[in-house]
Amino acid sequence: MLKGKYHSDKIEAGCDEAGRGCLAGSVYAAAVIFPEDYSNDELNDSKQLTEKKRYKLREIVERDALAWAVGVVTPQEIDKINILNASILAMHRAIDQLKVRPEAVIVDGNRFKTYKDPATDNALPHATIVKGDGKYLSIAAASILAKTYRDDYMNKLADEYPQYDWKSNKGYPTRKHRTAIKEHGTTPYHRMSYNLLGDGQLEIDFPE
């Protein structure tokens, strides 16, 4: 069973992202605040759930959360600031939209930049938690929202560009996706700073 909160005495938002490793499409992130003492035995890391289960749980999260929001960073922005910074920016954009203002943030992974509340300019305490989407309810919920909303977006793009098989691969570097890039070239949704054809190592600057 996942834990409720990391900061026991604060209104806490859990954050996670989806789409970091993709060759195409925006990166999505979500932030979720649950009520005190909230519990749900079904919530888990979105990667451990079936697609049907993720969408069912998305409805439950949106119903039960005190606040939730989704943030997006475009492929063009990713190319300018790199994917790590873009993932963090997407989380910040999600937090910006929360109708309940958090007093602390917990994030899946091991990298984050301090979030300042725009209204007060106060820096919120945060904790990065490796595999946090399998440990804390709000991060698990955020992983489900980020994943499903990004999947919805990639499915729409797939209608526009069916040759890249985005309905199946959601923009990840599958063989079929890379073959299509070789045959048809790139789209406005491809991340041009990535090694799209897979020849050699992909190098991305990960600042300290």
Q: CA 62: distance to chain centroid?
A: 16
Q: Give residue 201's pLDDT.
A: 40
Instruction: Work out whether the CA dihedral 13, 112, 51, 135 comes out positive or negative.
Output: negative
Could you report the per-residue pLDDT of 39-93, keeping only the tens digit for each? Answer: 999 998 888 899 999 999 999 999 999 999 999 999 999 999 999 999 999 999 9
- In single-letter form, the type of residue at position 74 comes to T
Whether the per-residue pLDDT at 204 is higher than 90: the answer is no
- Residue 192 in this model has a pLDDT that exceeds 90: yes
More confident residue, 199 or 114: 114
C-alpha dihedral (139, 49, 28, 34), degrees to nearest 10: -30
Distances 39 to 2, 44, 133, 141, 203 between C-alpha atoms, Å: 8, 12, 15, 11, 41
